[in-house]
Amino acid sequence: MSSTFSMDPGADQLAVRDWLHGFAADVVRPAAAEWDEREETPWPVIQEAAKLGIYSLDFYAQQYFDPSGVGIPIVMEELFWGDAGIGLSIVGTTLAAVAVLANGTDEQIGTWTPQMFGTPDDVKVAAFCSSEPDAGSDVSALRTRAVYDEAKDEWVLNGTKTWATNGGIAAVHVVVATVDAELGARGQASFVVPPGTPGLSQGQKFKKHGIRASHTAEVVLDGVRVPGSCLLGGKEKLDERLARAREGVRRSGRGNAAMATFEASRPAVGAQAIGIARAAYEVALDYAKTREQFGRPIIDNQGVAFQLADMRTRIDAARLLVWRASWMAANNRPFTAAEGSMSKLYAGETAKWVTAQAMQILGGNGFTREYPVERMHRDSAIYSIFEGTSEIQRLVIARAISGMPIR
Ligand SMILES: Cc1cc2nc3c(=O)[nH]c(=O)nc-3n(C[C@H](O)[C@H](O)[C@H](O)COP(=O)(O)OP(=O)(O)OC[C@H]3O[C@@H](n4cnc5c(N)ncnc54)[C@H](O)[C@@H]3O)c2cc1C
């Protein structure tokens, strides 16, 4: 990894950016309105991405380990510049893959991550299922239970997950469940549910405000039995972790490792938001230069030009925060001021604000589905909700900068 922070990611990374931009412009953007209206997973686009090598474990691993430290944010920004709903359909699998990479043994990684992506001729997706109806922001409140059946060396999962991206249509589901309820988030473990396992079914599929090409659904786990080998990290490690957690609860009741993982993945989500914001800003800038009222382009009015100046400034500021946090994570610098949360908070709020300004600049056209900013505005709204709401990001930052148990 590069120990010097640079705004110049290097020739290799710029080539990847340009390649991704071409895919986003030629394949993703032209398909965006159709899949938004259909509210269905855009399988042909995912397949096209797979054929080009943009939907594969190798590709994301390469970007993750890029020496610049900003490989992943660059990919996310370009894909989501194309379209956020399709973008999430393409990268949603990485949520589950990251859970296996972060917590699994080498054997588990080797077994499950390829099955999450399938092959270019037979693409698959994966789902990461943590949220529940009564456990959203409060991840310690999971009711889904995992009980060990020692005689059979199997885990039995029961509960209902909600809001799962790709839930029910995934080949592989990664499910977070409670093993010891008294320990809250530290009493939880993650399990792989292999393709076709009996007892796992899709519940309600949600009809959403935005990112409608991305499938979001409940996942019902009714006596789902998985082999002992599906516990990520293995039983021995879990038992050690639970023993340590029991000690920790008695001593201090402090935070958990899962939160640190979230903190590190947040810049990537921030980069997605920047892609949406940049797309809307570009449409608005072009429109403001060509739309004439009172005999001159509307950008001739300072009121409009200054709006665009603020939009661009906030987008660039958000990117700096995202790149800083990604570089820090890649170089193992601790997020002492919750820099990962900062980047996601600012980028998410920027996307919502910029897309709203873009709609205003397009006037009546901005309010219609004839122009893409209406969709981008709807898509942006999720960025203050998932992967930790904006309020939860502020909570994490406030705790980090103050050292106080802010509620
Ligand atoms: C489209 C979509 C895709 C998703 N994909 C996934 C996925 O793939 N896997 C997965 O596991 N989950 C997923 N989620 C779930 C997502 O992470 C949760 O929706 C999110 O964490 C918020 O939880 P909640 O909806 O229960 O809101 P709640 O936690 O009920 O929050 C409601 C409001 O109260 C506020 N609030 C709550 N607690 C506090 C507090 N302590 N201080 C201040 N304000 C607070 C929140 O900020 C929010 O404004 C997805 C959600 C959506 C909508």
Query: Taking a C-beta distance cutoff of 8 angstroms, is the pair 92, 127 a contact?
Result: yes
Q: Is 351 in the pocket of ligand 1 (CB under 6 A)?
A: no
- pLDDT at 382 > cutoff 90: yes
Q: Is 98 in contact with 176 (CB distance < 8 Å)?
A: no
pLDDT score, position 9? 86
Q: Check residue 250 and give its pLDDT.
A: 56
DSSP code at position 24: I
Closest to 350 measured CA to CA, from 393, 394, 314: 314
Indicate if ligand 1 lies below 6 Å from the C-beta of 262: no
pLDDT at residue 131 tops 60? yes
The response to whether residue 136 sits with its C-beta less than 6 Å from ligand 1 reads yes
pLDDT of residue 256: 54
Higher pLDDT, 256 or 137: 137
Q: Is the CB of 395 under 6 A from ligand 1?
A: yes
Residues belonging to the active site:
387
Mutate to test the pocket of ligand 1, among 128, 132, 385, 393 (most ligand atoms within 8 A of CB): 385
Q: What is the pLDDT of residues 239-290, one digit of tens each?
A: 999 999 998 765 544 445 556 566 778 999 999 999 999 999 999 999 999 9
Lowest mean pLDDT among 71-85, 106-120, 300-314, 325-339: 325-339
Q: CB–CB of 271/321 below 8 Å? A: no
Strand partners, 65: none
CA distance 407 to 405: 6
Using the atom order of ligand 1, give the atom closest to the CA of residue 388. 21
Mean pLDDT computed over 99-108: 95
Report, as an integer, the average pLDDT of 64-77.
92
Burial class (CB in 10 A: 0-12, 13-18, 19+), 318: buried
**Which pLDDT does position 4 carry in this prediction?**
82
Q: Cα(161) to centroid of ligand 1, in Å?
A: 13
Interval 343-352 mean pLDDT? 98
Residues with Cβ < 8 Å from 213, sequence gap 6 or more? 32, 35, 36, 38, 39, 40, 41, 42, 83, 85, 86, 88, 89
With tokens 């990962």, the residue in question is 340
Which atom of ligand 1 is closest in space to residue 133's alpha carbon? Answer: 26
Q: Is 256 in the pocket of ligand 1 (CB under 6 A)?
A: no
Tell whether the model's pLDDT for residue 117 goes beyond 50: yes
Average pLDDT over residues 341-345: 98
Overall average pLDDT of the 382-401 stretch? 97
Range in 10-14, 116-120, 339-343 the model is least confident about: 10-14
Mutate to test the pocket of ligand 1, among 41, 389, 393 (most ligand atoms within 8 A of CB): 389
Taking residue 136's Cβ as centre, other Cβ atoms within 10 Å add up to 17
CA–CA dist 97, 109 (Å, integer):
8
Q: Would the CB of 27 count as within 6 Å of ligand 1? A: no
Tell me the CA–centroid distance for residue 363 and ligand 1, in Å: 32
pLDDT tens-place string over residues 167-218: 999 999 999 999 999 999 999 999 999 999 999 999 999 999 999 999 999 9
In whole angstroms, give the CA distance from residue 324 to residue 215: 31
Residue 198 Cα to chain centre, angstroms: 28
In this structure, are residues 206 and 214 in contact, taking their beta carbons and an 8 Å threshold?
no
Q: Which residues pair with 175 in a beta bridge?
A: 129, 191
Please tell me whether the overall predicted TM-score, pTM, comes out greater than 0.85 for this model.
Answer: yes
pLDDT score of 243: 95
